[in-house]
């Protein structure tokens, strides 16, 4: 955080504003509108829009896995940045064809929306935040299926608002770091690719244990071991070896790399 921002935030804290450096966290939905206004005036002009999803995650992990995890990670990223707030999580995303169902829609509880509705929602949120004075709107997505859509929203917003000080930054590093770099850390700690899996396996489940352990059903971990492909329970991999310590390896890497990329993006834009 810049030297001019900290003193202002200290004053606001004394007046009762609970901002990024305070225990209440940097979440917009937990602030009043005057608190948001004052945070903007103090220099908190970056806002993160976390995108999750409501989908099946096997019998051992709840439908809100992505939503809970991306909210926690967004808070960590905002606190590291020092001048950022966090918008409410986007919980409805494209997640397969509804009828006849494909992908995660084959499992009860998954919610899917059309691509254009999703993009319009993200764009509307970004425009709203820019209207209030946020100059850097950051998009991070915890699910792989809509990464290209987030990139498209950012590109179209920035083209349309070229004369405006506001910019939308799609941070692909957030999701990409949770794939190969995190997998390598897990391999270094003794896990096999078959255990790590691609969905609700040891990698995915460990991250959830490190961020939102209440979303995991420990009693179900040993019955959902799958193979390299989808099994009948909607799992690839074996969540049995999952631990919060393994998940923290991924969390720390995702946060540090995302912070670096956001700072670079903001510097390029301004």
**Average pLDDT per 10 consecutive residues for the chain, totaling 270 residues:** 40 40 70 96 97 96 98 98 97 96 95 98 98 98 97 98 96 97 98 94 97 96 60 88 97 98 96
List the one residue out of 111, 109, 113, 131 whose CA is nearest residue 121: 113
Q: How many residues does the chain have?
A: 270
The CATH H-level (homologous superfamily) assignment of domain 45-269 is: Creatininase (3.40.50.10310)
Which DSSP category does 232 fall into? T
Contact 180, 149 (CB under 8 A): no
Which DSSP category does 156 fall into? H
pTM attached to this predicted model? 0.90
Backbone angles phi, psi at 190, to 5 degrees: 100, 0
Which DSSP category does 269 fall into? H
Domain residue spans of the chain: 45-269
Bridge partners (DSSP) of residue 96 are none
Residues 168-183 have pLDDT tens digits of 999 999 999 999 999 9
List the one residue out of 71, 85, 7, 62 whose CA is nearest residue 251: 71
Give the integer Cα–Cα distance in Å for 41 and 30.
18
Residues 48-87 have pLDDT tens digits of 999 999 999 999 999 999 999 999 999 999 999 999 999 9
Query: Exposed, middle or buried: residue 253 (CB in 10 Å: 0-12, 13-18, 19+)?
Result: middle
């Amino acid at each position: 955080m810049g030297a001019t921002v900290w003193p202002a935030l200290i004053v606001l804290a004394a007046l009762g504003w609970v901002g990024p450096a305070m225990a209440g966290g940097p979440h917009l939905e937990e602030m009043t509108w005057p608190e948001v206004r004052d945070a903007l005036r103090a220099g908190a002009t970056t806002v993160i829009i976390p995108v999750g999803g409501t989908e099946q995650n096997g019998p051992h992990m709840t439908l809100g896995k992505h939503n809970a995890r991306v909210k926690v990670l967004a808070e960590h990223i905002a606190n590291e940045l020092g001048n950022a707030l966090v918008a409410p999580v986007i919980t409805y995303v494209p997640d397969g064809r509804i009828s006849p169902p494909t992908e995660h829609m084959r499992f009860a509880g998954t919610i899917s929306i059309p691509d254009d509705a999703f993009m319009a929602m993200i764009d509307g949120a970004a425009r709203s935040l820019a209207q209030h004075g946020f100059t850097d709107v950051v998009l991070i997505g915890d699910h792989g299926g809509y990464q290209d859509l987030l990139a498209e929203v950012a590109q179209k917003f920035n083209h349309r608002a070229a004369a405006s000080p506001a910019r939308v930054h799609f941070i692909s590093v957030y999701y990409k770091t949770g794939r190969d770099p995190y997998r390598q850390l897990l391999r270094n700690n003794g896990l096999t690719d078959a255990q790590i899996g691609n969905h609700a396996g040891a990698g995915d489940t460990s991250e959830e244990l490190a961020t939102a352990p209440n979303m995991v059903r420990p009693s179900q971990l040993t019955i959902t071991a799958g193979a390299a492909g989808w099994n009948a329970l909607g799992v690839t991999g074996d969540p049995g070896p999952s631990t919060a310590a393994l998940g923290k390896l991924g969390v720390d890497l995702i946060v540090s790399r995302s912070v670096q990329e956001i700072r670079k993006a903001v510097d390029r834009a301004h």
